[in-house]
């Protein structure tokens, strides 16, 4: 009895399912919607990120627009040239301009925690849309600076943007130029720029120069240096802010001239060692030649050792004479200049005076040629004896010359010292 009920229930359920299945099959054929096969193929070729960068609500909307001819094959900016070529092959049309340079997002702000002045500390929901309603729209003094709370980071599906030291920074390699971060930024300081572009005005501050300097170290102060030095007329100051146009050749002159570094791509200065290496080659060669010119040849008598009665030419041509003392002793030092001085005061040109001068010159030449070590050694007792002998001999040789010189100077005229030695004898006798 029980088995009969089970079998009847199973038959009824199976029959009901069969009837419903047949009904649904007929209805699907009766009311089916024609779908373009190319649309499904295009949808399969798209990346499937549903980022909305194409301007349609997801990849399905983009594939439908492309299949219906309402959008070009290169409508998806994320896929790039490869995806555009696949879609063009499906649609049997031209892939469009796929040779254009890749675009990436760029944040026009460099006001990090070290470079931008902070006016207060925000405590609230960590979102740029929430802090945007507070005074100045940010914690920093610059009202055009990056909030630094990551609304752009949340909007990016490719992990291509992050907040670093209070400023959003884009990873160019991961960025697909979908524009999601650009739409999420409440300050509007994110834009799409060519991938290879190096020199960009990284500032959106439209305040006056002094206000910018007070708020940020790397802000544009609208000084016009970039505009005056650009040879292509590719940058102009508009509303107190430097703005580049399509004429820019990316030469970098504006970046080098910018006094605050608001334009990216400024080349660092050369190190001092490298800069002085080239110019130092010539300067090191010049001082090397100076000692040779200033050195005096060995054996010449210096100007201070020249006798008063000889000219410079005679002193230069005169060979030094070294007087040898008995028993191979060293040349006499010290007293030779004294002999020369006394001979000069006499004013006589006799042979004895000339001999005294020659002896003085010989002593000076010997002292010049003598090494420093020898000069520094103390005199020996034997040298002192010879020195005393030479001094005595010099005084004996000098006395006739002095007498003759005195008589010639007097000239025989009557005077207190020239009356034929009369007064001199009286004085000696009185003493």
Q: Mean pLDDT for the chain? A: 73
Spatial neighbors of 360 by CB under 8 A, at least 6 apart, are 307, 336, 337, 339, 340, 343
The pLDDT, as a whole number, for residue 410 is: 42
The pLDDT, as a whole number, for residue 80 is: 80
Q: Which domains does the chain have, with CATH numbers?
A: 37-95 (1.10.15.40), 102-196 (3.30.70.20), 200-265 (3.30.70.20), 306-373+385-399 (no CATH)
The pLDDT, as a whole number, for residue 355 is: 53
Judge whether residue 190 has pLDDT over 80: yes
Beta strand extents in 337-386 (DSSP E only) = none
Q: 335 or 245, which is more confident?
A: 245
Q: 167 or 309, which is more confident?
A: 167
Judge whether residue 27 has pLDDT over 60: yes
Run of H or E including 424: helix 422-430
Mean pLDDT confidence for 401-410: 43
Run of H or E including 50: none
The pLDDT, as a whole number, for residue 348 is: 40
**Cα dist. 363→45, 190, 385 in Å?**
107, 90, 16
Paired strand residues for 105:
192
Contacts by 143-146, CB closer than 8 A, 24 or more apart? 143/205, 143/207, 144/109, 144/187, 144/189, 144/203, 144/204, 144/205, 144/206, 144/207, 145/109, 145/111, 145/116, 145/187, 145/205, 145/215, 145/216, 146/107, 146/109, 146/111, 146/187, 146/189
Judge whether residue 232 has pLDDT over 90: yes
Of all residues in the chain, the percent with pLDDT exceeding 70 is 61
Nearest Cα residue to 300 out of 248, 230, 369: 369
For residue 400, how many other CB atoms are within 10 A of its CB? Answer: 14
Mean pLDDT confidence for 20-24: 92
The DSSP code for 123 is: -
pTM of the model: 0.55
Judge whether residue 135 has pLDDT over 60: yes
Q: DSSP string covering 274-323, please? A: HHHHHHHHHHHHHHHHHHHHHPPPTTPPPGGGS-TTS-HHHHHHPPP-PP
Rounded Cα gap, residues 349 and 354, in angstroms? 7
Contact yes or no for 52/101 (Cβ under 8 A)? no
Rounded Cα gap, residues 256 and 23, in angstroms? 78
Place of tokens 């980022």: 51
Place of tokens 């040789």: 397
Rounded Cα gap, residues 200 and 209, in angstroms? 19
Rounded Cα gap, residues 204 and 216, in angstroms? 12
Contact yes or no for 262/242 (Cβ under 8 A)? yes
Beta strand extents in 138-286 (DSSP E only) = 161-164, 167-170, 190-194, 235-237, 242-244
The pLDDT, as a whole number, for residue 181 is: 93
Q: DSSP string covering 63-85, please? A: HHHHHTTSS-TT--TTTHHHHHH
Length of the chain: 431
Judge whether residue 4 has pLDDT over 50: yes
Q: Give tens-digit pLDDT for 320-378.
A: 444 444 444 444 444 444 444 443 444 444 444 455 555 556 556 555 544 444 444 44
Q: Give tens-digit pLDDT for 59-116.
A: 999 999 998 888 888 888 888 888 888 998 888 877 666 556 788 999 999 999 899 9
Nearest Cα residue to 159 out of 137, 182, 136, 175: 175
Rounded Cα gap, residues 360 and 367, in angstroms? 11
SS3 272: helix
The pLDDT, as a whole number, for residue 54 is: 84
Judge whether residue 165 has pLDDT over 90: yes
Lowest mean pLDDT among 189-203, 256-270, 335-349: 335-349
For residue 23, how many other CB atoms are within 10 A of its CB? Answer: 10
Which of 202-206, 295-299, 304-308, 339-343 shows the highest mean pLDDT? Answer: 202-206
């Amino acid at each position: 009895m029980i088995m009969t009920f089970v079998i009847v229930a199973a038959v009824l359920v199976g029959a009901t399912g069969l009837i419903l299945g047949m009904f649904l099959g007929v209805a699907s054929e009766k009311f089916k919607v024609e779908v373009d096969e190319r649309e499904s193929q295009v949808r399969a070729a798209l990346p499937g990120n549903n980022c909305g960068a194409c301007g349609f609500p997801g990849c399905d909307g983009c594939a439908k627009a492309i299949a219906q001819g309402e959008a070009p094959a290169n409508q998806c900016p994320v896929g790039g040239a490869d995806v555009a070529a696949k879609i063009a092959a499906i649609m049997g049309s031209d892939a469009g301009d796929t040779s254009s340079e890749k675009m990436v997002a760029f944040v026009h702000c460099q006001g990090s925690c070290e470079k931008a002045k902070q006016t207060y500390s925000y405590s609230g929901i960590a979102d740029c849309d929430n802090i945007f309603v507070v005074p100045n729209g940010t914690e920093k003094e610059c009202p055009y600076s990056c909030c630094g709370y990551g609304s752009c980071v949340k909007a990016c599906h490719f992990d291509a943007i992050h907040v670093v030291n209070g400023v959003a920074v884009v990873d160019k390699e991961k960025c697909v130029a979908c524009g999601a971060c650009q739409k999420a930024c409440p300050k509007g300081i994110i834009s799409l720029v060519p991938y290879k572009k190096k020199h960009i005005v990284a500032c959106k501050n439209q305040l006056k120069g002094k206000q910018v300097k007070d708020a940020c170290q790397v802000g544009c102060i609208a000084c016009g240096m970039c505009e005056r030095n650009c040879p292509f007329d590719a940058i102009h100051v508009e509303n107190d802010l430097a703005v580049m146009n399509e004429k820019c050749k990316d030469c970098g002159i504006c970046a080098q001239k910018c006094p605050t570094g608001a334009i990216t791509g400024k080349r660092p200065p050369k190190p001092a060692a490298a800069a002085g290496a080239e110019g130092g080659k010539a300067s090191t060669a010049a001082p090397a030649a100076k000692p040779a010119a200033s050195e005096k040849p060995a054996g010449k008598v210096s100007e201070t050792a020249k006798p008063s009665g000889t000219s410079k030419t005679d002193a230069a041509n005169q060979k030094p004479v070294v007087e040898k003392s008995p028993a191979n002793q060293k040349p006499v030092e010290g007293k030779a200049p004294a002999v020369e001085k006394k001979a000069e005061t006499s004013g006589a040109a006799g042979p004895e005076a000339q001999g005294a001068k020659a002896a003085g010159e010989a002593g000076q030449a010997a002292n010049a040629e003598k090494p420093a070590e020898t000069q520094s050694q103390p005199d020996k007792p034997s040298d002192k004896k010879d020195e005393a002998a030479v001094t005595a001999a010099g005084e004996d040789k000098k006395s006739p010359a002095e007498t003759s010189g005195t008589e010639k100077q007097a000239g025989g005229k009557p005077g207190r010292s020239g009356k034929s030695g009369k007064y001199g004898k009286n004085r000696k006798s009185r003493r």
